[in-house]
Amino acid sequence: MSGVTDAQQRDLDELGYTILPDFLPTDLLAAYREAVERQYALEGDRAGSEFKQEEQTRRLANMVDKGELFEQVIAWPDILALVAHVLGPELKLSSLNVRSANPHSDWVQPLHCDMGALPDSRGYWVCNTVWLLDDFTTENGALRAVPGTHRSGQLPQQVLADPKAPHPDEVLLTAPAGTVIVMNAHLWHGGTANRTGRPRTAMHGFYCRRDKPQQQYQKALLRPETQARLTPNVRRVLALDDPLNDELSRQVATLSGFMK
Ligand SMILES: O=C(O)CCC(=O)C(=O)O
């Protein structure tokens, strides 16, 4: 794995995120943008249904199964090194999704921690990577985050009167398309309203520690033909050959069965 700079470590430790401008080469950025739009057109009303649909937002889920281009994203050495700084080396992909804030939308996501996760006795266990396929500007629904809250040990919905309201300490993470933001996903964060006439799209490569369940159980979701072509490294990142991951997913399925 590649190295992580002191500044990146400090940002991740203290702020809860680090921003990597100009990360994606222009041709690859164009290829992702095109592949994502093609996928939206293909899936139509079903888009995002493997995970969730969201108001005034277009979503796609299970992206590792949606073309070889997306297999690269999840095992990018520089990004995995940063994720490992947050989670430790025992990490795996939890999900790869796309989220696009619709033009002229007033929908603001409540501040949240991904999967409603608080750090446990072993520390942090969720980390997200946000791949900007469009510029994130002050007008078009950039990500907001409250620096340092990954260390608060609290969920926003437990302590804020209104997690959708602006937070006095929040910052808007604006950056050009091609940037990747690596974020400790215990950080309080959320998407904002898009007041422009164009969509604002990003891919989310979401990781967790290997002793936790995946948000999307990759082994069940990936078609056999996809699984057949994956490299050993990508299989490992997806935890496809990990009996603990199978057991954790069974437990989650049983629990959600009980809760129905
Ligand atoms: O796309 C974004 O701006 C972030 C969305 C987000 O935090 C989420 O969907 O959990």
Can you give the residue ranges of every domain in the chain?
6-208
Mutation to probe ligand 1, out of 144, 189, 206 (largest number of atoms < 8 A from CB):
189
Q: How far is the CA of 55 from the centre of ligand 1 (A)?
A: 13
Distance from Cα 228 to the centre of ligand 1, integer Å: 31
Write phi, then psi, for 17 (nearest 5 degrees). -155, 160
Of 19, 95, 85, 11, which Cα lies nearest the Cα of 59?
95
CA of 143 to the centre of ligand 1 (A): 7
Report the atom number in ligand 1 closest to the C-alpha of 141: 3
pLDDT tens digit sequence for 100-115: 999 999 999 999 999 9
Q: What is the pLDDT of residue 82?
A: 98
* Amino acid letter, 26: T
Handedness of CA 38, 39, 44, 48 (dihedral sign): negative
- Atom of ligand 1 at shortest range from CA of 142: 3
Q: Is 57 helix (H, G, I), strand (E, B) or coil?
A: strand
Whole-angstrom Cα distance, residue 244 to residue 211?
A: 7
- DSSP letters of 41-53? HHHGGGTTTTT--
Taking only the tens place, the pLDDT of each residue in 160-200 is 999 999 999 999 999 999 999 999 999 999 999 999 999 99
pLDDT confidence band for 258 (50 / 70 / 90): low
Q: Which residues contact 122 (CB under 8 A, 6 or more apart)?
A: 209, 211
Structure tokens at 203: 């891919």
How many angstroms is it from 193 CA to the middle of ligand 1? 11
Ligand 1 centroid from CA 56, angstroms: 13
HEC string for 197-241:
CCCEEEEEEEEEECCCCCCCCHHHHCCHHHHHHCCHHHHHHHCCC
Report d(CA 235, CA 16) in Å as an integer.
28
Q: How far is CA 142 from CA 20, 149, 200, in A?
A: 15, 18, 8
Rounded to 5 degrees, what are φ and ψ at 239? 60, 40
Mean pLDDT, to the nearest integer, of 119-138?
Answer: 98
| Residues of the chain by 3-state class (helix, strand, coil), percent to 5 | 35, 20, 40
Residue nearest to atom 6 of ligand 1 (CA): 190
| Atom 8 of ligand 1: nearest residue by CA position | 190
pLDDT at 69 over 90: yes
Q: Look at the alpha carbons of 164, 169, 174, 175 in this order and tell me if their dihedral is positive or negative.
A: negative
Q: Which two tokens stand for residue 213?
A: 């369940």
Whether the model clears a pTM of 0.85, i.e. scores above it, the answer is yes
Nearest CA to ligand 1 atom 2: 191
Among all chains, which residue has been given the structure tokens 């203290």? Answer: 14
The greatest distance separating any two alpha carbons of the chain, rounded to the nearest whole angstrom, comes to 49
* Cβ density class 199-219: b for 16+ within 10 Å, e for less: bbbbbbbbbbbbebbbbbbbb
Atom of ligand 1 nearest to the CA of 204: 1
CATH code of the domain occupying 6-208: 2.60.120.620
* Atom 4 of ligand 1: nearest residue by CA position: 191
Candidates 107, 109, 144: which one to mutate for ligand 1, based on the most atoms within 8 Å of Cβ?
109
Q: How remote is the CA of residue 102 from the centroid of ligand 1, in Å?
A: 13
- Per-residue pLDDT of 1-41, as tens digits, reads 467 999 999 999 999 999 999 999 999 999 999 999 999 99
Site residues for ligand 1, CB cut-off 6 Å: 99, 109, 114, 143, 189-191, 202
pLDDT tens, residue by residue, 224-249: 999 999 999 999 999 999 999 999 99
